Structure 1
Amino acid sequence: MKPIYIAASLLASAAFASPTMARDLIVNSYGGPYEQIIRDAIITPFEQEYGVRVIYDAVGSSSQDYAKIKATNGRPGFDVVVMTASQSLQGCEDGLLERFSPDTVPNLAHLNPEISAVAGPCGAVHELQYLSLLYRTDMVSESPQSWLDLFEDDLTGRVILPSFGNVMAAYLTQLMSVIHGGDLDSDIDPGFEAMTRLAAQSVGFEQASAILESYIVDGRVWAMPFWDGRAQLLVDSGAPVDYVLPEEGSVPLIATLNVPIGAQNKELALAFVDFFLEKTSQERWVEGYKVGSARADIEVSDQAQDRKITSQADLDALYLPDLLSLASNLSAWGERWEREVVPAAR
């Protein structure tokens, strides 16, 4: 089904919401604090400007969402989905995601071109994060500085890990592989061996970030991998936690907005993607969700920029896996995770 495009001048104005356009837009993304922030910073302003209603679907992880897109041949029942650059690249290769251009999404022209290129033509990069090490300041005697600190004896039974449905698990496995003499993609055995040992010292696995963070907030665990934006939200909430970028480095999360090729309300979906990338929208999002942006022209507080990815140099300082290779490996790695890592948990 060929997409129906409209002129950029109409896309940039409220007049774009024509009488013939459907008034409901279904957006699939995450729950927890993310949901309230996206409603306040993006969804409500979009509804007000375009005179439409956004139905928010907080079901599934990025990998589960893409699996649904693939199983339905690009007609998953939602119009816009938040995923990652890995799924964006895979979806483009599979022909299941809409390709964007500055003609259909004008604000793409304002994104860092190198960062946009990582996500490919089907992904609009709306935020940047990295995998950080989150810890309880009142329980850990010294601030951890290394991913290897997760293996310390005093953290035995005080670490929780993401399940493989959360891409944090794949990223942490890749990092552990590099630290233990392997690499990010082809020689991953050291990573799985390390994660199996770490699982034996953990309390188990959870998939949703909102559930993962509850373990550290109530003190059941004292350290865990977590996205830096969500970690900063916890710091700002007054919880006795802090986070670090470990000395070995980390992996960025390049988060994208995507439109399935068979979306029912494609025109409004493209308008939503463009609205999310607007300067003022990105400023609200960065301030609200404590993440980095691929727009260099946003104006935010110094606090919002502290410890965030704010430049190409920040991104270059992190490990960037071959994301298309990662997407193709996820299924096999997930099966291996279930065979080797999960049974080792306490």
Structure 2
Amino acid sequence: MGRTRRIFTVSAFAVAAIATPLRAETLVVNSYGGPYEAIIRKAIIEPFEQRTGIDVIYDPVGSASQDYAKIKATMGRPGFDVVVMTASQSLQGCKDGVLEKLDANSIPNLAKLSRRLTETAGPCGAVHEVQYMSLLYRTDKLATPPVSWSALASSDLKGRVVLPTFQNTMAIYLVEMFSLMNGGDLVDNLAPGFRAVAAIAKQSIGFEQSSAILESYIKDGTVWAMPFWSGRAQLLVDSGLSVDYIKPKEGTIPLVATLNIPIGAEHKDAARKFIDFFLEKTSQEAWVGGYKVGSARTDIDVPAAVKARQITSDADLNSLHLPNLTTVAERLPKWAEQWERDVVAHAN
């Protein structure tokens, strides 16, 4: 007798499942566009997807302050699961009860971070990078490299400076630094800082929120000097553009950047896995090397060029001015009004 033939019917869905492995989880990550997006995709997101099978949807919309406003307005249900913000929003979000508290039981790599930086961000923030506000300038336009923040007020730079909007953390940092330089302090007496920045605004070309737009002005030569984050500044130097950046002689303020989970996030387990992956030693090394920033981990191998110019140790952090970020978070709404009244209203 002939052999009986067995006939199998395979659905189109099953064929698709064989051809493309199904991912059981999805994660929405909100962060920034431009160079940040390209680097985080390559250094963090793609390796994370490959290891876990979790599908990451990247949402490059909004500044840290705008993202936090959305989280607060939705009572912790903004539509994304992980968000990149700063320590100030992290502290405020914990106080407002709209951010998830994080711990080393579910995110083991939190235990590997600098205790000082972890305390700075509070229980709701995982510190994944550290930068500082630098003074970025065109080397082909300025005959003498600047050494002080006061260079921004020089008549030589009239019409050649751009300032951040208040939605960009650099705005309040700039006010705080000019306050220190003019007899005030970092949180309790900012009036001298607001007056000094208002004078700079009068000779600036205006205000921009996005780092990508801010850097476009210095790329095309419209702007010759401006405050800018140190990691992004180094990327411009590495690109071959005629620019450099400094820590002015008066000092500067660090940007402690955090990963946060909104309290009503839909995919919290995947979010914790993503944060833990981002904080792994190899991930932090990839991030530091790619984005040219400092890390809250002290056990990673940092390229010499990054170590020379970024914040890579507690000693580096101690050399900078660090305001009480809890107080900063509480007073930001009042300062935002003062910025509009005392700085923007007096700009050309």
Please classify the TM superposition score into its range, dividing by the shorter chain length: over 0.9
Question: Structure 2 CA distance, aligned partners of 1:224 and 1:240?
Answer: 14
Question: Structure 2 CA distance, aligned partners of 1:202 and 1:271?
Answer: 44
Q: In the alignment, does 2:272 pair up with 1:270?
A: yes
Question: Structure 2 CA distance, aligned partners of 1:311 and 1:299?
Answer: 12
Write out per-residue CA displacement over residues 155-210 of structure 1, whole angstroms, 9 at most, x where no aligned residue.
01100000001010011111111111101101010011011101001000000000
TM-score w.r.t. length of structure 1: 0.93
Residue 165 of structure 2 corresponds to 163
Offset at 1:304? 2.2
Residue type at the aligned position of 2:308 = D
Residue 29 of structure 2 corresponds to 27
Q: Is the 8 A contact 2:23 2:54 kept in 1?
A: no
Residue 302 of structure 2 corresponds to 300
Residue type at the aligned position of 2:324 = D
Unaligned stretches of 5+ in structure 2? Answer: 1-20
Q: Is the 8 A contact 1:22 1:265 kept in 2?
A: no
Offset at 1:310? 0.9
Residue type at the aligned position of 1:133 = L
Offset at 1:306? 1.9
Mean Cα displacement is larger for which, 328-337 or 25-34? 328-337
Offset at 1:332? 1.2
Tell me the secondary structure at the aligned position of residue 343 of structure 2.
Answer: helix
Question: Structure 1 CA distance, aligned partners of 2:201 and 2:346?
Answer: 6
Mean Cα displacement is larger for which, 130-139 or 314-323? 314-323
Residue 326 of structure 1 corresponds to 328
Percent of residue pairs bearing the same amino acid type: 64
Residue 231 of structure 1 corresponds to 233
Question: Structure 2 CA distance, aligned partners of 1:59 and 1:305?
Answer: 30
Q: Is the 8 A contact 2:66 2:167 kept in 1?
A: yes
Q: Is the 8 A contact 2:114 2:298 kept in 1?
A: yes
1:115 to 117, 123, 148: 117
Tell me the secondary structure at the aligned position of residue 141 of structure 1.
Answer: coil
Residue type at the aligned position of 1:127 = E
Unaligned stretches of 5+ in structure 1? Answer: 1-18
Q: Is the 8 A contact 1:21 1:268 kept in 2?
A: no
Q: Is the 8 A contact 2:77 2:264 kept in 1?
A: yes
Residue type at the aligned position of 2:193 = G
TM-score w.r.t. length of structure 2: 0.93
Offset at 1:85? 0.4
1:212 to 208, 211, 214: 214
Structure number with bigger Rg = 2
Residue 143 of structure 1 corresponds to 145
Tell me the secondary structure at the aligned position of residue 306 of structure 1.
Answer: helix
Write out per-residue CA displacement over residues 296-320 of structure 1, whole angstroms, 9 at most, x where no aligned residue.
1111321122211011111011111
Offset at 1:105? 0.6
Q: Is the 8 A contact 2:285 2:302 kept in 1?
A: yes
Mean Cα displacement is larger for which, 110-119 or 334-343? 334-343
Write out per-residue CA displacement over residues 125-180 of structure 1, whole angstroms, 9 at most, x where no aligned residue.
00000000000000001110000111111101100000001010011111111111
Mean Cα displacement is larger for which, 325-334 or 254-263? 325-334
* RMSD of aligned Cα (Å): 1.3
Matches within 5 A, 1:1-346: 23-346=25-348
Tell me the secondary structure at the aligned position of residue 345 of structure 2.
Answer: helix
